[in-house]
């Protein structure tokens, strides 16, 4: 779901990977490894990040900026 041109997370299942990483319903994804996730930019981000194993997600939660760092295995 897009909120203000950014993807909004909703319906996170308890125990899911998103839950374990600390995402919450209503979070708005803003950046992934410094790449803006504004509307229409998702494919560019996917192409640039295919080989990455470490990620920093910047998001808005209740109007507060939050960062979540994780490694893909």
User: What mean pLDDT comes out for the span 58-68?
Assistant: 95
pLDDT at res. 63: 92
Q: Report the C-alpha gap between 58 and 17 in whole angstroms.
A: 17
First to last CA, the chain: 27
Q: Report the C-alpha gap between 39 and 53 in whole angstroms.
A: 24
CB 38 within 8 A of CB 44: no
Q: What pTM did the predictor assign?
A: 0.78
pLDDT digits 0-9 by tens, 38-47: 766 777 788 8
Residue 50 pLDDT exceeds 90? no
- Share the mean pLDDT of the chain: 87
pLDDT at res. 19: 95
């Amino acid at each position: 779901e897009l909120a203000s041109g950014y993807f909004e997370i909703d319906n996170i299942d308890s125990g899911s990977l998103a839950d374990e990483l600390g995402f919450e319903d209503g979070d708005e994804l803003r950046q992934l490894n410094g790449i803006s996730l504004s509307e229409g930019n998702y494919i560019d981000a996917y192409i640039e990040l295919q080989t990455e194993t470490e990620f920093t997600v910047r998001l808005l939660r209740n109007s507060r900026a939050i960062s979540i760092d994780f490694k893909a295995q």
